Amino acid sequence: MEPFLEKFFPSVLKKMADSAHNAYCVFDSQILTLFTSSLYIAGLASSLVASRVTRAMGRKATMVLGGCTFLVGSAINCAAINVAMLILGRIMLGFGLGFTNQAAPVYISEMAPPKWRGAFNTGFQLFIGIGVLFATIINFIAAQLGSWGWRFSLGLAAAPAAFMILGALLVTDTPSSLVERGKLTEARQALVKVRGVNSTVETELNELVEASEAAREVNQESCTTIFDRQYRPHLVISMAIPFFQQLTGINVVAFYAPVLFQSVGFGSDSALKGAIILGLVNLTSISLSMCMVDRFGRRVLFIEGGIQMLICQVALAWLLGKDLGFSGDQPLSQKSAIMILILMCFYGAGFGLSWGPLCWIVPSEIFPMRIRPTGQSTTVSVHFTTTFILAQTFLTMLCKFRYFVFLFYGGWIIVMTVFIVCFVPETKGVPLESMHIVWERHWYWNRFTPRTG
């Protein structure tokens, strides 16, 4: 929004007005990218302590804490009068995301029945997609409101934070967390509430108690337990999947979609409209993933999505190279601009079907109870670290690499797809407390996993 850029980033606005500008380099500003990426470095910092908070206070309390921190951040951003306040607000938002991204996927995995766990966990990514879509629509509306539109846009982030707080206060904590903290009566009540009054919950409760006791025997409070040889498969996959997810390029495309569209020839309003279309496609593909993930499994979606994204990345690089050239000072035809939007949509659909939801599903379900909070914290930490680095460097990469930046991400998609084929086992329908079976049967990871019988 021009009033926002005029107040906080006038140098960027000046480059936009320069008729001789390079299309790839218009928004190359380290201060502007710091405004975006500061959220992720704060998320990383909070995720490093979130596992202990989640274990000590429970999943529910951690989500409440995250919602409150996010609420404060949105208020600071709305009232910002300088860049320092903007970045402080983003840091508070990052702390909120660090706690909620730690607690929410674990909460869902522990509450969902095994046969529907994939669909429930995909719901986490589905509502992220809904949030992205609503945020883009709100930005489009706010852009029409004049000089105070950006305050409306940033301040309205308080609404989902309030929903998070209220929703977390109304639900029960997970039976696993309650057993872990010695609250067996509450755990039984939670199981009855979740599984149904007529359900037999004693067997599941006994399994949770046994798993909790086993966890205590191996000193579950130690964050170093996850580095034991027997947990090598869990650690590698929990780090590799969020790392690779960011190297699909989706977050930098999603966050900078209006910037990217505007850079390659869309007008300001058209750029936001294009981002809305991209959000709708992503949301539709995530909904489709919910229906498919427990039917076809995780691996099939990972592989299909990787191939689809790779084709789109290569096509985008070719199209931008053909029309804009390496210098970026050639005009982009309307036909090419439409093709770029279509390719972005197919790319977003591939991500929404696969790496988007599965990045949260697989790490949240592979860990035994004794290291589950630490494992999820590891996943979130890697996610935020990689996102911070890419968010901080993407606009500079776009300026330096030009259209080759899409080939850079395409190369990583090849690597991650090969990794899935070779090293990620299928976890569809496997109960959390029986997950050790998938490691014992895997061609490579079985050498790290002790046999149970």
Task: Among 109-113, 142-146, 250-254, name the one with the lowest average pLDDT.
Answer: 250-254
- Spatial neighbors of 390 by CB under 8 A, at least 6 apart, are 246, 247, 249, 251, 252
For residues 91 and 45, give the distance between their C-alpha atoms in angstroms, rounded to a whole number.
10
The pLDDT of residue 307 is above 70:
yes
For residues 189 and 185, give the distance between their C-alpha atoms in angstroms, rounded to a whole number.
6
What count of other Cβ atoms lies within 10 Å of the Cβ of residue 450? 10
Quote the pLDDT of residue 220. Answer: 46
The more confident residue out of 211 and 70 is 70
Amino acid occupying residue 315: A
Phi/psi for 143 (5° steps) reads -65, -20
For residue 28, give both structure tokens: 């190359």
For residues 130 and 128, give the distance between their C-alpha atoms in angstroms, rounded to a whole number.
5
Compute CA 196 distance to the chain's CA centroid, rounded to the nearest angstrom: 31
For residues 108 and 363, give the distance between their C-alpha atoms in angstroms, rounded to a whole number.
12
**Average pLDDT over every residue of 54-70:** 90
The pLDDT of residue 301 is above 90:
yes
**pLDDT tens digit sequence for 357-378:** 898 889 888 888 778 878 888 8
Quote the pLDDT of residue 410. Answer: 92
Query: Residue 221's pLDDT band (boundaries 50, 70, 90)?
Result: very low
For residue 164, give both structure tokens: 């998070």
The fraction of the chain above a pLDDT of 90, given in percent, is: 26
DSSP string, 107-150: HHHHHS-GGGHHHHHHHHHHHHHHHHHHHHHHHHHHTTSGGGHH
Q: Angle at which helices 268-296 and 298-323 pack, to 10 degrees?
A: 150
Quote the pLDDT of residue 64. Answer: 94
What count of other Cβ atoms lies within 10 Å of the Cβ of residue 163? 11
Averaged pLDDT score across all residues of the chain: 83
**pLDDT tens digit sequence for 174-187:** 888 888 888 888 88
Amino acid occupying residue 79: A
For residue 107, give both structure tokens: 């909460």
The fraction of the chain above a pLDDT of 70, given in percent, is: 87
The more confident residue out of 418 and 227 is 418
For residues 207 and 229, give the distance between their C-alpha atoms in angstroms, rounded to a whole number.
24
Enumerate helices (H) and strands (E) in the chain, giving the number of each: 21, 0
The more confident residue out of 34 and 236 is 236
Compute CA 93 distance to the chain's CA centroid, rounded to the nearest angstrom: 14
The pLDDT of residue 259 is above 70:
no
For residue 403, give both structure tokens: 């259209």
Query: Residue 158's pLDDT band (boundaries 50, 70, 90)?
Result: very high
Q: Which of 431, 444, 390, 359 is nearest to 208 (CA)?
A: 431
The pLDDT of residue 391 is above 60:
yes
Inter-CA distances, 139 with 154, 162, 284, 422, Å:
9, 20, 21, 42
Cβ atoms of 60 and 365 within 8 Å: the answer is: no
The pLDDT of residue 272 is above 60:
yes
For residues 355 and 417, give the distance between their C-alpha atoms in angstroms, rounded to a whole number.
10
For residue 186, give both structure tokens: 């509450």
Quote the pLDDT of residue 306. Answer: 95
Specify the 3-state DSSP secondary structure of 321. Answer: helix
**pLDDT tens digit sequence for 195-212:** 776 566 777 788 788 777
- Spatial neighbors of 194 by CB under 8 A, at least 6 apart, are 111, 172, 175
The more confident residue out of 169 and 9 is 169
Amino acid occupying residue 305: G
For residue 360, give both structure tokens: 């949260």
**Average pLDDT over every residue of 160-183:** 89
- Spatial neighbors of 86 by CB under 8 A, at least 6 apart, are 8, 35, 77, 80
For residues 92 and 73, give the distance between their C-alpha atoms in angstroms, rounded to a whole number.
5
DSSP string, 333-383: PHHHHHHHHHHHHHHHHHHHHTHHHHHHHHHHHHS-GGGHHHHHHHHHHHH
Is this structure's pTM higher than 0.75? no
The more confident residue out of 66 and 431 is 66
Task: Among 97-111, 132-146, 288-302, 387-401, name the one with the lowest average pLDDT.
Answer: 387-401
